[in-house]
Structure 1
Amino acid sequence: MTTATPPMPAAVSPALSTLAQQALPVLYQHRLVATSQLHRLLTPHTRRAVYLRRQLSILRSLGLAASTERRGARSGPTLGRSELLWYVTPRGAEVVEHDGQITPRAYRISPEAAASQLQEHTRSCVETGLLFTEWARHLGDECGPLDWEPELAHRMRDGDSRLGDDAFLIPDGVLHYTHTTPDGARKLLTFFLEVDRSTMHVARLGKKLSAYARYATYTPAPAGPGRRANSSPGREAWRDRYAKFPRMLFILTGASASSLARRIDDLRALADADPRLHRAGIAAGATTLDQLHQHGPFAPIVTPLLGSPGPCDVLLSPEPTSPDPSTTTRANVPPAPTSRLASQETRATTS
């Protein structure tokens, strides 16, 4: 069962349908989302997105959302139709923030940014979270449209600084997922997501790995004159946000399967050569967007970046919880045993 998108209060948006009220916070949180992605997120039970498109048009007519064409891409049943990418306007952001159910974000996407070369990276990040949501729906797990957040800043050194410098770790996404194991146990999982479209040298991915190691071991200095305490003294800063340090997943796309495999090998070599990463004891792995789509997160699709290169699932545990990906696909994974889960009390654990 996936987490439902909470509707917005009727007092805030009396003219909006339930679907429009669900779409607006999704656009606010994920910044730039394609019509096809919204269809899969919010109306997967419908074959066509006719009603969704109508509601998006209403949001646009009310000045709550806007759209731009995807650069260099054509899709849809009509040849030559451009795919639309949707985002909230400042007025739409005010409506979402008035609801109070989503953490307010200072960032506002502008029409210029929405039409820029950042489209493909943002779309790939949304696609990654969307695949986790679709597989959760398929497996009877929980991961809803608002259960991952893009670009959350995590301070990893003391001193005055601004967003964008090396004082902050900013993952592409932080995703929360509740997985029910075959024996009925529930695991509360958190992942740092890094989406790589093969547009940068692999050495830059190595620097990202080092940044995660710094964050894992960063202990803020004690509060003093003129210094505000941002964390409990004497312990790592991440413990104020997470029960356990999140697993790291690099999701690769944008090249052939053989090129991505070589890229993962290079990333493993960089990780092995980083002593800080070994000391931090971080659980990190890499896979491809295509493997995640085809086989799901609990098939052995992930290559650990430290230790044995043997494939595992997103838990980064030695024994995968699903069959080999050659026999586990979106088409033939059996449905989750919902009747058994409904009648059996389970205990949630953080893993």
Structure 2
Amino acid sequence: MSTAIASGIAVGSRPDGLPRLAQELLPVLYQHRLLTADQLTRLLRPTATTTRYVRHQLQVLRSHGLTEATARRHNAAGELLWYVTPLGAETIEAGRELPARSYRITNQAAASALQEHTLAINNTALAFVEHARRLGDECGPLSWDMEPAHRVRDGNARHGDEAWLTPDAVLHYVRTIGDERTLLTFLIEVDRSTMTIARLAAKLHAYARYATYIPQPSPAAKGRPSAAGGLVQEAWRERYAAFPRILLVLTGAPSRTLRHRAADLRALAAADPRIARAATQLQVGVTSLELLQAHGPFAPIFTPVLGDTAPTDVLLHPAETADPL
């Protein structure tokens, strides 16, 4: 008898007898790794005035062995951070309602120093969700993926991670204006002012590499027709209709410090030959998490990392007025 069945949960199906909210919580936790009750309430029950009902449903899931919680580090109030257990992940994966994730959060990872970074990524995406509701756009609790890997070179790199680009998140957003609907995709990097600007600029270098990376056929595949009918094309075209906009979201420091970090990042990007060669394909904007939460992505709160410094909205088109970073 499987652990799931022994616990009274049929793997691959909605857990019988669980309230609807409990069923909704599980895939969100699975996809976004680590969330607070407040974040989950804002995602799934935005009109609620307290987190009490969400916390109760999380405890119900915990009683079935599907979720677990850990204390938030450096938080005097003892706030809990929630994540799915191996049984919870198995239940979601067997149901095939979401793509299976290669990464599963462990008890050790949930309690580690990665907590705040994960929460900041989810707060960034949550800002998009909340403003989408106000604007009548579409961006929901499952509209972003955490750290999907993108190959940026062939073969084995001397150091394994050199062959891969891993954005903090890829977020999908449907903008609706009248009868016109536009699917927008964003590659998001969140910086809590804990990494050097040189390292952040190196991430942009990796994006420039990805924008121009054309996979080479393996020796065994040479001479055979390709899936694209022999057309050589960049790897990103297999994944995206257009190269996504890149958003750098800064937090964790006073606004003056964040402005200086943004200016330093622009300077390093301007001096990078690879970024310069890919500049026509890259649209990169930088803002702060605080501005994004307060004003939303379609306010002119982004500073372009490449080219003109005129503030823009998330579409990275120049705007006339702004409250720039």
TM-score normalised to structure 1 length: 0.84
Shift of 1:209: 0.3
- Name 1:114's counterpart in structure 2: 110
- Name 1:132's counterpart in structure 2: 128
Q: C-alpha separation between the residues in 2 aligned to 1:38 and 1:230?
A: 44
State yes or no: 1:224 paired with 2:219.
yes
Which string of whole-angstrom CA distances, capped at 9 and with x for unpartnered residues, describes residues 79-113 of structure 1?
xx311100000000011112212110121111111
State yes or no: 1:40 paired with 2:35.
no
Which string of whole-angstrom CA distances, capped at 9 and with x for unpartnered residues, describes residues 42-68 of structure 1?
111111121111110011110000000
After TM superposition, list the pairs within 5 Å mapping 1:38-77 onto structure 2.
Answer: 38-74=40-76
Q: C-alpha separation between the residues in 1 aligned to 2:158 and 2:66?
A: 30
Contact 1:173 1:193 in 2 (8 A): yes
Unaligned stretches of 5+ residues in structure 2: 1-9
- Name 1:142's counterpart in structure 2: 138
- More moved, 265-274 vs 10-19: 10-19
After TM superposition, list the pairs within 5 Å mapping 1:272-287 onto structure 2.
Answer: 272-280=270-278, 281=280, 282-287=282-287
- Name 1:259's counterpart in structure 2: 257
Specify the SS of the correspondent of 1:297: coil
Q: What value does the CA root-mean-square deviation take over the aligned residues?
A: 2.3
Contact 2:12 2:93 in 1 (8 A): no
- Name 1:315's counterpart in structure 2: 315
Q: C-alpha separation between the residues in 1 aligned to 2:12 and 2:57?
A: 16
User: Kindly tell me: are residues 308 and 68 of structure 1, through their superposed partners in 2, closer, same or farther at Cα, counting changes over 3 Å?
Assistant: same
User: Kindly tell me: are residues 161 and 24 of structure 1, through their superposed partners in 2, closer, same or farther at Cα, counting changes over 3 Å?
Assistant: farther
- Could you tell me which amino acid in structure 2 is paired with residue 59 of structure 1? L
After TM superposition, list the pairs within 5 Å mapping 1:4-23 onto structure 2.
Answer: 11-23=13-25
Contact 2:211 2:243 in 1 (8 A): yes
User: Kindly tell me: are residues 162 and 229 of structure 1, through their superposed partners in 2, closer, same or farther at Cα, counting changes over 3 Å?
Assistant: farther
- Name 2:301's counterpart in structure 1: 301
Shift of 1:201: 0.9
Q: C-alpha separation between the residues in 2 aligned to 1:297 and 1:22?
A: 26
State yes or no: 1:208 paired with 2:206.
no
Contact 1:231 1:237 in 2 (8 A): no
Shift of 1:160: 3.3
Q: C-alpha separation between the residues in 2 aligned to 1:212 and 1:253?
A: 21
Shift of 1:226: 7.2
- Could you tell me which amino acid in structure 2 is paired with residue 305 of structure 1? V
Q: C-alpha separation between the residues in 2 aligned to 1:14 and 1:200?
A: 45
Q: C-alpha separation between the residues in 2 aligned to 1:238 and 1:279?
A: 17
Shift of 1:325: 5.0
User: Kindly tell me: are residues 9 and 112 of structure 1, through their superposed partners in 2, closer, same or farther at Cα, counting changes over 3 Å?
Assistant: closer
Shift of 1:114: 0.4
Q: After TM superposition, which residue ranges in structure 1, 4 or more long, deviate above 2 angstroms?
A: 8-12, 160-164, 226-233, 323-326
Shift of 1:13: 1.0
Q: C-alpha separation between the residues in 2 aligned to 1:131 and 1:101?
A: 25
Q: Select the structure with the greater relative contact order (CA < 8 A; seq sep ≥ 6).
A: 1
Q: C-alpha separation between the residues in 1 aligned to 2:184 and 2:158?
A: 30
Q: C-alpha separation between the residues in 2 aligned to 1:313 and 1:17?
A: 40
1:190 to 165, 185, 192: 185
Shift of 1:319: 3.4
Aligned length: 310
Specify the SS of the correspondent of 2:79: strand
1:241 to 220, 227, 239: 239
Q: C-alpha separation between the residues in 2 aligned to 1:127 and 1:144?
A: 13
Which string of whole-angstrom CA distances, capped at 9 and with x for unpartnered residues, describes residues 251-275 of structure 1?
0000000000000000110111112
Specify the SS of the correspondent of 1:300: coil
Shift of 1:11: 4.0
Unaligned stretches of 5+ residues in structure 1: 1-7, 75-80, 327-351
